[in-house]
Structure 1
Amino acid sequence: MAALGRLSQVLLRSSLTQTRRQLSATAEHGEQSARTWKILTFVVALPGVGVCMLNMFLKEQHHSHEQPEFIPYTHLRIRSKRFPWGDGNKSLFHNSHVNALPDGYEGHE
C-alpha cells in the first residue's frame, strides 16, 4: 500500500511540474502571438479598411443620383392596411428620393 502511495505522489509531482512548464511556454507563446496580431492589425487590417473606404468613395463619385424609373408592378408596394405612423402610406424609414409610393414618387405626376 505504501508503494502505491509513493507512486501516486511521484506521478502527481511530475504532472504538476509538467503543467507548470506548459503554462510558462504558453505564456511565452501568448506574448508572441499577441505581438503578431498587433503587427497584423496595423500592417494589414487598417490599410485594408482604408483601401476599401477609398474604393467606396471613388465609386460613389461616379454613381448616378437620378431616381429610377417608376414601373407600377402589381406585386410591389401593396398596402393591405395603413402604417401606424405618419399618413399611413410611407414606411418607417421612407426616403422620398429612392422609395416610391404605390402611385409613384413624391412630387412627380
Structure 2
Amino acid sequence: PVQMSAALAARRVLAAASHSGSEGGGQPTWKILTIVLAFPGVSVCIANAYMKAQAHSHEQHEFVPYPHLRIRTKRFPWGDGNHSLFHNPHTNPLPDGYESSHH
C-alpha cells in the first residue's frame, strides 16, 4: 500500500508537470522532478544492489552434469571453441565441469 501511494503520487506529479509545460515553462519543473525523484530513486537502487552483492555467497555451486545443459552441437568461432564469449571460469562450467575446483 505504501509503494502504491508513492507511485500514484509520482504519477500525479509527472502528469501535472507535463500539462504545465505546454507553454515552454516546464524546464524548471522537470529539473526539480529529476533532483527530487530520479536521483534519490537511482541512489536507492544502487544501495540495494550493493547490499545484495555483499550478502551474496561467492562459492561455486556443485556441478551436476544435466544432459540438457551446455550442449555443444557446433564449436564457438573464437578461442578453443568450447568457451562462451563472456566465459567466467569461476561461475560458468564447461560441459565436463568447472575448469578449476579450488574454492
Q: TM-score, normalised by structure 2?
A: 0.72
Is 1:47 aligned with 2:33? no
> Which residue of 1 is the match for residue 60 of structure 2?
67
Taking the aligned partners of 1:55 and 1:92, their CA distance within structure 2 comes to: 29
Output the amino acid matched with 1:96.
P
Q: Is there any run of 5+ residues in structure 1 with no aligned partner, and where? A: 1-25
Q: How many residues are treated as equivalent by the alignment?
A: 80
Identical counterparts, % of pairs: 66
Q: Distance in 2 between matches of 1:100 and 1:79?
A: 13
Matching residue of 2:98: 105
Which residue of 1 is the match for residue 84 of structure 2? 91
Determine the C-alpha separation between the residues in 1 that align with 2:44 and 2:34. 14
AA partner of residue 57 (structure 1): Y
Mark the structure with the bigger radius of gyration: 1
Runs of 4+ that moved beyond 4 A: none
Show CA shifts across 1:43-69 (max 9, x none): 111011011101111111111001111
Secondary structure in 2 matching 1:90: coil
Provide TM-score, normalisation by structure 1: 0.68
Contact 2:76 2:83 (C-alpha < 8 Å) held by counterparts: yes
Give the structure with the larger helix fraction.
1
* Superposed CA RMSD: 1.1
Rounded to whole Å, the distance in 2 between the matches of 1:107 and 1:48 is 40
